[in-house]
Structure 1
Amino acid sequence: MYGTPHIVSEVMTRTVVALGRGATFKDIVKTMRQWKVSALPVLEGEHLVVGVVSEADLLPKEEFRDGAPDRYTQPRRLSDLVKARGVTAEELMTAPAITIPAYASLAQAARIMACSRVKRLPVVDDAGTLQGIVSRSDLLKVFLRDDEDIAEEIRREIVAHLFPEPLEPIRVEVHDGVVKLTGRIADTALVPIAARLVRAVEGVVDVDCALSGPPRRPDLDPDLPDDGMTSQPSGARDIA
């Protein structure tokens, strides 16, 4: 019924620089500098992703250059101390790698990045083979979407289905990703549903849902009968 959310394969970078397990510490630093990236996937065999080496994995070597931390800190930094002694990608990488399938939605990718506190994710197929890489900046590309493109999707996929017979035409206006809906509908219970569906459209920054219900009828005089005709007092007679 509603538009299919954009998926990772539509925004990911397909040309990916990767490392083998045997890549040396210095080669890793050089590659990161050359390609201006802060993390690199580590592959084996037929491009199977086995881990990721990031700047955070390399920093312990510099941090502990002058010696190990005190005995109170050491138990909390054991993994960093191990990496401080690493010299190859296999010894330095974080494994298993946190990956995402190409068919995942951008919302799924954003949640994984936020929960895992990573800036990019290797994109893999069902066999775990590298297909590309998606970064935070890639996920933000949807907000470059044209306003009229967003408006047209909302009209076609949401308004037309949710309000097939509005009391007056529903207007959809989009400015810089902010959507405003105006018009009259028969059932105002659908307003929060409309706002939620519009907010879920890729590229929408915010929603101003100004839909209203039917016009109010003026209150009738409570002393008048329902049929609106004036009644006479009991015992009164018409005077000819």
Structure 2
Amino acid sequence: MTATPPASPARPAETAAGSPRHVGDVMTRAVVAVGRAALFKDIVRRMAQWHVGALPVLESDGRVIGVVSEADLLPKEEFRDSDPDRLTQLRRLSDLAKAGGGRAEELMSAPAVTVRADATLAEAARIMALRHVRLLPVVNAEGVLEGVVGRGDLLTVFLRPDNDLADEVRRDVVDVLFPAPVEPVHITVAEGVVTLTGRVRDATRIPLAKRLVRGVEGVVGVDCRLTVADKD
């Protein structure tokens, strides 16, 4: 069984506020996948055809049971004409087994590391870093494939226009924390770096403002120059 991408892959959606927040907002819904019986050469052919480095492996009902990646396929070439010593055999037992595999079910990494569409982008990035994977199948509650999210998908938030970032920082951070500043809080954004200037009444809110601005999707850095007004 395979899932073949439509002619026009879906584009990442955005939330009403204009800021991608969850995996479902940036994931690729046009997915190439293989069944457990897919042959080695067919897997390689599909990777080359669709320019991907990993493919979800599906049961007949669409549930994800594993992922086969370029790393899973390379042992066949690495050990093609070698006779590994006993220490290598013990250390690379899994890779040696994959070197002899011919079908997806023998080559895949299982169980698959997956993520739900409602997971935050930060959660997906954390899973990728901790599990050392480049691609996460996105599944529903039954484990059925809904899409995939890769490292590049998570980075699309940094393509948000600077004026969009400034609007969100103003609406969700500055106007909430500093409704009556001593002087107007100015927000400038250049290449994703947000600069805040102005005088405010409550010094304790300045570190919070910096932290909240840093948490806005697409912000690269924060230069907080807010100062506290002298008390009368």
- 1:187-213: CA deviation from partner (whole Å, max 9, x where unpaired): 112111110100000010000000000
Question: C-alpha displacement at 1:68, in angstroms?
Answer: 3.3
Are 1:169 and 2:184 counterparts?
yes
Partner of residue 167, structure 2: 152
Q: Aligned to 1:26, which of 41, 44, 48?
A: 41
CA–CA separation in structure 2 for the residues paired with 1:145 and 1:99? 26
Question: C-alpha displacement at 1:45, in angstroms?
Answer: 2.4
- SS class of match (2:138): strand
Partner of residue 51, structure 2: 36
CA–CA separation in structure 2 for the residues paired with 1:137 and 1:13? 11
CA–CA separation in structure 1 for the residues paired with 2:78 and 2:166? 51
CA–CA separation in structure 1 for the residues paired with 2:94 and 2:77? 15
Max Rg structure: 1
- SS class of match (1:133): strand
Decide whether the 8 Å contact of 2:20 with 2:26 is kept in 1: no
User: Which ranges in structure 1 are unaligned for 5 or more consecutive residues?
Assistant: 218-240
Q: Aligned to 1:81, which of 83, 89, 96?
A: 96
User: Which ranges in structure 2 are unaligned for 5 or more consecutive residues?
Assistant: 1-16
Partner of residue 146, structure 2: 131
Alignment of 1:1-240 (within 5 A): 6-215=21-230
Question: C-alpha displacement at 1:118, in angstroms?
Answer: 1.0
Partner of residue 238, structure 1: none
Give the TM-score normalised by the residue count of structure 1. Answer: 0.87
After TM superposition, where is structure 1 displaced by more than 3 Å over at least 4 residues in a row?
Answer: 2-5
- SS class of match (2:143): coil
Identity of aligned residues (%): 61
Partner of residue 235, structure 1: none
Instruction: Calculate the aligned-residue CA RMSD, in Å.
Output: 1.6
- 1:113-161: CA deviation from partner (whole Å, max 9, x where unpaired): 1111111110111111100011111111001101111111111111111
- SS class of match (1:47): coil
CA–CA separation in structure 2 for the residues paired with 1:176 and 1:72? 51
Structure 1: which amino acid aligns with 2:173?
I
- SS class of match (1:165): coil
- SS class of match (1:104): coil
CA–CA separation in structure 2 for the residues paired with 1:189 and 1:31? 56
Question: C-alpha displacement at 1:90, in angstroms?
Answer: 0.5
- SS class of match (2:196): strand
When the two structures are aligned, how many residues end up with a matched partner? 216
CA–CA separation in structure 2 for the residues paired with 1:140 and 1:80? 31
CA–CA separation in structure 1 for the residues paired with 2:174 and 2:69? 45
CA–CA separation in structure 2 for the residues paired with 1:134 and 1:87? 27
CA–CA separation in structure 2 for the residues paired with 1:191 and 1:70? 61
